[in-house]
Chain A
């Protein structure tokens, strides 16, 4: 590292101290637009909700919207690692799932603890800590035929420690995996397959009953917040919507800040020509590892917000196909631009919910009735092919069609460097 430039030379003097003296927001108006849209959306949903407003939007739909925000957040991470850095990771849904498991362990432990303490209160002797722990373990692990806490649950009683685990576990896993992979120069499709293998290994591991995380039963009842049993779900759903929107907004700011500076230029350069960046003296592996780990952490946080709204997590959620769908969202939304990822995730996941939920009207062709529950996936698959072939910029590319007065030079959106000829010709 001594010969290579520091990772963040530009930010040594603080944000905006570089040659461009205009403020960050002024240079990137799209960030402001995005934050404003998000705030407006959250406000509207709150006003229309059952918990805090006039009750037009049902609680279950509020939850769907909240979950969609979390999916947007993980799509943002995917866009950063794939659209900007060129690493097609098929493992980010695994980090998302790990985040969910981390928070789920605490939720399940704390809620079961309340139930166990209540049931033991009737006993003639006050329960000891050991008896309570025994009771909780029997409740939680009865389904997999165990009654002992596995070592992995050692910190489940503590909310701060599990919150730390949401960040630390995916981060550490990404760090170790990325270090191994980048160190041996595994790139391109090989890296994709390797990350997919990692995801598969993790989900197969979690499917076992003796993995300590209840096998294919997963963790359930996560929508009930411990100690807040009397707060109705309509209120809780709005809280989570706010939290998800806040997290998404912060993640967007962070990502926009990262890609706007010199760091962002370097990772885009890595995407476009890794060897050239290495020969220029940058430590390519360190940049990739930083991005890979950072996005894993973002994915973990998104997962921790998603699963309390979904209520249940099981290993099927981590299966490789989930990460593939993540790539689909980002590609359809338009990779290489942050709002593209958000639009893609929101659009595809909401449309998927609409189609697979049975709300879409079936099409009667006379000889055959197209039922969207069955045919939506086919349509999605083929439209994905079409998008990849004919619209590599995705939905986000539509924004470029809008004429804008101050379009000149390099100021084309937040990421001017996406999908240039240099990449297309490689």
Chain B
């Protein structure tokens, strides 16, 4: 294309655009200036055009009060900066921007397309964030009347998130007409909460406060807590009046002397204290050659020497004297300190305080319940980790330090299964028997190759299995890497069972608890109701006698060890669901598992159960007392167990008689 032709084409375009504009300007004038919504807007046109947070409420109220069906869309578009004003006529239009210079305008009353126009004579309304917040608050009222319960629910959530004075009236209007009982309950609750915050008179507020007696909701406490805020004030005398909560004496726990004195200083009732650093700075200021106030600088390396030199400086008038202890006490004694409610009028504050203290009591009870649930779930994890050990160590007396690595093996089996089977439910169902098989095989192999030769040398069993443990751990690291691998629980185990705002427990923990119960039952059935169990007990009590009765002790030992290891594998799948799968996960549990078995009493499954319950609740209890520090909890728990074993060396449930000898 030649340059001149290009130029001509540009000219043509400009010309065309000009004519188009002329034509388009015509329908723009045809918009409905008399529509009721436009009328309402025009009444407040100035406010809307120059919207500010302080003044715009009138316009929004007018819009919401108009009851016009178009009002909601107008406010939404306004909020989204899609409403423009025609600078010549002052009429408002909805706008869709076509490009930098062209816009498509729509009538605000019925959304009629008024065609494309150049944007020169239109001005975009750009409400700032404060104004947009107010518009949103106004919009909530429309949403509360919406037909769809989902939108009403959203509106309620929005109110709960960011309550405004205006919402209260709106809520009161809609509660009576709300068809859904669930939503009505939420509305009532919100209305009470808003009444506490924005209610008109004290009686109304106190009634609303009383409504929350014993309520555990976080929102209730969040609404009540600001009401009982107090401040410590100082004055010549304690004022008479209900707002004074109590008087304080400086030096009390609630009001240390330094803080009390600072209050005096802040109220201009006393001179500020000279800080300790002032002594040093005054001395430095007055260094004259190598002396300060006649004292050699080099000798000022003790506090006493410095204070003496400073006293000289004060005497010479070169430094401000520091207030002495007596002066501070005198100043403090001259004034009264008292605590006043500042969050609300005293009657309301006292009512809130009453309700809050009731809530605290109930809260403490519920927290205890929550803690108990946590403890039970931790105990079931320890029980799961320890139950395999209760078989190999408790029943057979074989100390297997690689038990933790069998747990890890089970967890990695689950991870590998999930790599091949993407469906989580199916993969977990597959992983459990597979983990059992893998660890059963590993256990049998270890029994045949290592443990069989060491049955009468427990310390050497411990060492050899340590060797296996070290090797297996590193092997897992070499194969799967050092980073944690996920073992994802099926979707239906996500989330948690919420009993109230304080007490909740995740489904996965419930599943682990149930799994622990299943294992307990399985153990009891296998040990007490099957031929294998009978033979196992016979072989543990007296292998020679058992052999003479036709039982093959070698086979039984192998199977028992495999069974214990297999259970460790399944426990690994369960633990992997709850924690990450790493090569070190076994060693995280091994000491606690042994503790559980030893504390419970070797050779008794009920003992293991009690041991797990004790170790679990113990750890949670200590964690609760010192929540920031789980390391400390573990430390103290282990120390406690060491002490506990002093008093019951054979555990909670000690075997007696012939069984204890074996």
Residues of A at under 8 Å CB distance from B? 86, 88, 124-130, 177, 180-181, 183-186, 188-190, 192-194, 196-198, 200-201, 204-205, 207-208, 210, 320-321, 324, 327-328, 331, 374-375, 377-385, 388-389, 392, 423-426
**B297 near A186 (CB under 8 angstroms)?**
no
**B463 near A388 (CB under 8 angstroms)?**
yes
**B450 near A204 (CB under 8 angstroms)?**
no
- Knowing A186-B645, A192-B459, the reply to whether A388 touches B454 (Cβ < 8 A) is yes
- Answer yes or no: B300 CB below 8 A from chain A CBs: yes
Q: Whole-angstrom distance from the CB of A357 to the nearest CB of chain B?
A: 16
- Knowing A208-B632, A382-B467, A384-B467, the reply to whether A377 touches B303 (Cβ < 8 A) is no
- Answer yes or no: B104 CB below 8 A from chain A CBs: no
Q: Give the contacting residue for B470; candidates A127, A183, A188, A381; CB below 8 A.
A: A381
Given contacts A184-B646, A208-B635, A320-B591, 10 further A-B contacts (CB under 8 A): A128-B302, A184-B647, A197-B641, A198-B638, A208-B631, A324-B470, A374-B474, A375-B474, A385-B467, A389-B453
Assembly CA distance A153 to B560 (angstroms): 52
**B645 near A324 (CB under 8 angstroms)?**
no
Q: Whole-angstrom distance from the CB of A207 to the nearest CB of chain B?
A: 5
Q: Which residue of B298, B453, B474 has the most chain A CB atoms within 10 A of its CB atom? A: B474
Contacts of B475 in A (CB 8 A): 378
**A385 near B456 (CB under 8 angstroms)?**
no
**A197 near B595 (CB under 8 angstroms)?**
yes
Q: Give the contacting residue for A197; candidates B280, B591, B631; CB below 8 A.
A: B591
Q: Whole-angstrom distance from the CB of B136 to the nearest CB of chain A?
A: 42
Contacts of B298 in A (CB 8 A): 126
- Subset of 12 A-B contacts with CB under 8 Å: A126-B301, A185-B649, A189-B399, A197-B591, A201-B639, A207-B631, A328-B466, A331-B463, A378-B475, A378-B478, A380-B471, A381-B468
- Knowing A205-B635, A380-B470, A384-B464, the reply to whether A128 touches B478 (Cβ < 8 A) is no
A interface majority secondary structure: helix
Assembly CA distance A257 to B531 (angstroms): 56
> For residue B594, which residue of chain A has the nearest CB?
A193
Contacts of A190 in B (CB 8 A): 598, 645, 649
Residues of B at under 8 Å CB distance from A? 280, 283-284, 287, 297-303, 306, 399, 450, 453-454, 456-460, 462-464, 466-475, 477-478, 587, 591, 594-595, 598, 629, 631-632, 634-635, 638-639, 641-643, 645-647, 649
> For residue B458, which residue of chain A has the nearest CB?
A189
Q: What 8 pairs across the A-B complex have the smallest Cβ distances?
A: A381-B471, A384-B467, A381-B470, A377-B474, A201-B638, A126-B301, A385-B467, A388-B464
Q: Whole-angstrom distance from the CB of B289 to the nearest CB of chain A?
A: 12
Q: Whole-angstrom distance from the CB of A400 to the nearest CB of chain B?
A: 19
> For residue B398, which residue of chain A has the nearest CB?
A189
Q: Give the contacting residue for B631; candidates A180, A196, A205; CB below 8 A.
A: A205
> For residue B287, which residue of chain A has the nearest CB?
A124
Contacts of A183 in B (CB 8 A): 646
Q: Whole-angstrom distance from the CB of A78 to the nearest CB of chain B?
A: 12
- Knowing A125-B300, A200-B591, the reply to whether A381 touches B474 (Cβ < 8 A) is yes
**A125 near B646 (CB under 8 angstroms)?**
no
Contacts of B303 in A (CB 8 A): 128, 130
Contacts of A382 in B (CB 8 A): 467-468, 471
Contacts of B470 in A (CB 8 A): 321, 324, 377-378, 380-381, 384
> For residue B597, which residue of chain A has the nearest CB?
A193
- Knowing A193-B594, A385-B450, the reply to whether A125 touches B283 (Cβ < 8 A) is yes
Assembly CA distance A378 to B468 (angstroms): 8
Contacts of A377 in B (CB 8 A): 470-471, 473-474
- Knowing A208-B629, A389-B450, the reply to whether A126 touches B297 (Cβ < 8 A) is yes
Contacts of A328 in B (CB 8 A): 463, 466-467
Contacts of A186 in B (CB 8 A): 645, 649
Q: Which residue of A129, A186, A377, A381 has the most chain B CB atoms within 10 A of its CB atom? A: A381
Assembly CA distance A249 to B491 (angstroms): 65
Q: Whole-angstrom distance from the CB of B472 to the nearest CB of chain A?
A: 7
Q: Give the contacting residue for B463; candidates A127, A375, A384; CB below 8 A.
A: A384
**A388 near B642 (CB under 8 angstroms)?**
no
Assembly CA distance A210 to B283 (angstroms): 37
Assembly CA distance A254 to B336 (angstroms): 73
Contacts of A425 in B (CB 8 A): 456
**A125 near B297 (CB under 8 angstroms)?**
yes
> For residue A129, which residue of chain B has the nearest CB?
B302
